[in-house]
A and B are shown apart, each in its own frame.
Chain A
Amino acid sequence: MKRGPKARPGTKWRTAAQERVYGRRLLEALRATAALGPRAVKEAADSALAFTARGRSRWSRAILLSPRRKARLLLRTGSKIRRGRRRARAAEAGGRLRGRLRVLRRLVPGCRKLSAGSLLEEAADYVAALEMQVKAMRALADALSAAPAAAAAAEPGSRGGV
């Protein structure tokens, strides 16, 4: 895999180009999963995100390579969010770093057996990617849920300018 100088996740995911790339992929994904429900949409969005990451990070590979299993994991993460909070607090008692690292391992896909250092690295990339994903999805949802005419004017601007 060609690897240039490793860009920091904060800068790598925040470029407009990256957002455009993801936006397009997201749209394709949405088209493919039209009317299949929010879960499919989420899966598609996550897969698109992982694809945009080009599989360079472990979490993206995990999402891409076993979407069903990892998809279920992601789904569970969704439902477990409230529980996860409590677990995070409980983990505090369990040992300051260890417990929290465990929680983090569960949150970031594909990082179950990583060392602390690599886990943090993956987490950084994942956080940056997630932020971009949220931004893109929000823009898309806003644009699409506005009146079509308004969206027509807004979308090209938003997608291009984002």
Chain B
Amino acid sequence: MGSAGSYGVGTGNSGAYVTEISEPARFEEEIRSLIQARFDAPPVSGGSFTALLGLSANQAVGLLHEPGAGEISAPAASSSPTGLGHPLGCSPTFPSNAALAERAASFPVFAAADSPASSSDGGPSPPLKAEPPDPDSSPPLPVPIDKPRRPAKRKDCEKQKAKGPGKKIKTAEEHTEGDQLPYVHVRARRGQATDSHSLAERARREKINARMKLLQELVPGCSKITGTALVLDEIINHVQSLQRQVEFLSMRLAAVNPRIDFGGLDSFLMAERGPLAASNGRGEAALDPVSWSSDPAPGTGLRTDLRPSQQSSTAWVYPYALIDHGTSLFGYGAANSVPLNSNQSKTDL
């Protein structure tokens, strides 16, 4: 079957696509299985495909075979049938692309979507995201019905477009990220079914990929890596190395800690200060030098060096509060060490 051949190309394209996404095996299987499932329907009854387009079965099959030569370049602009031929298995309402939507609207098919839709629609139409009657209302696409989900789909679409060479290219190009039309319609890639499951799955994948991108930017050296798995590896290594560094640094700090005369700070810390917030404290700075200058204690150098922390000394009050909460914030024995320190400070002074 000619269309099968073209879709074989489609699957081949999916291989290229896959290098971006990097789950080749799974995706290809999924795609293949979906293609199989889908191809059972169209030649016979027009099935879901025609339901989507709201075309009659014949028209649909005709369109199927028309662009079927594999290369679907310069789609919608060239001729309307070709334009329609793209979204093989797409929702009839084009995704947030006003120009295309206008073109689509010009098709009698959509204008009178009711009758052909009703004639060719079968069971498949309900699970579809957008129904044939919708495009009626819309070159300016209609209400943001479920807006939260749509943006995900839009990203979804964009990604698909980017990845699908020779698939609805025109719509892809026009479907820029600048588009902010509220109602987004999912456009399935050629070679992928559009039942709700795969759509949802694709949405999920897109969400995951978006997060991965964020992580990639965060972790140094990940932007060059292609492949979700490898990026994840890098991320894991990075997290582990960071945690290790924290451990080593905490060892260093623990070694340094006893030398710090933390206890000596208590006399200042106990003083009634302003609000507890740790981010406060510029006001406190005025108080601190005064109290320090009067303090003849040996660790002056250290105290001065901890001065900025004095601004958090107001928060010294708050460790007590936290300690009451069960030492949850400051770990073990905070309650024990605090009174100890204050005792020491008294002896020091």
B22 CB, min distance to chain A CBs, angstroms: 8
- B218 contacts the other chain (CB 8 A): yes
Among B236-285, those with CB < 8 Å from A are 236-240, 242-247, 249-260, 262, 265, 278-279, 281
- A85 contacts the other chain (CB 8 A): yes
| Complex Cα gap A1–B180 (Å) | 29
* B179-217 contact mask (Cβ, 8 Å, vs A): 1 or 0: 000000000000000000000000010011001101101
Number of chain B residues whose Cβ lies closer than 8 Å to a Cβ of chain A = 70
**B309 touching A159, Cβ below 8 Å:** yes
**A24 touching B315, Cβ below 8 Å:** yes
Q: Which residue of B212, B215, B246 has the most chain A CB atoms within 10 A of its CB atom?
A: B246
Number of chain A residues whose Cβ lies closer than 8 Å to a Cβ of chain B = 82
- Having A36-B337, A138-B249, one finds 16 other A-B pairs with CB under 8 Å, namely A21-B279, A25-B312, A28-B278, A41-B257, A44-B331, A48-B329, A85-B240, A88-B236, A88-B237, A97-B23, A104-B235, A107-B243, A117-B208, A131-B242, A145-B255, A155-B307
- B14 contacts the other chain (CB 8 A): no
Q: Which residue of B lies closest to A154 (CB)?
A: B305
Could you jot down 7 A-B contacts, CB within 8 Å?
Answer: A28-B330, A29-B330, A32-B319, A38-B253, A134-B249, A138-B245, A155-B304
| Complex Cα gap A103–B237 (Å) | 10
Residues of B at the A interface (CB closer than 8 Å) are: 23, 204, 207-208, 211-212, 214-215, 217-219, 228-229, 232-233, 235-240, 242-247, 249-260, 262, 265, 278-279, 281, 299, 301-302, 304-309, 311-312, 315-316, 318-319, 323, 328-334, 337-338, 341
Among A91-148, those with CB < 8 Å from B are 92, 96-97, 100-101, 103-104, 107-108, 116-117, 120-121, 123-124, 126-128, 130-131, 133-134, 137-138, 140-141, 143-145, 148
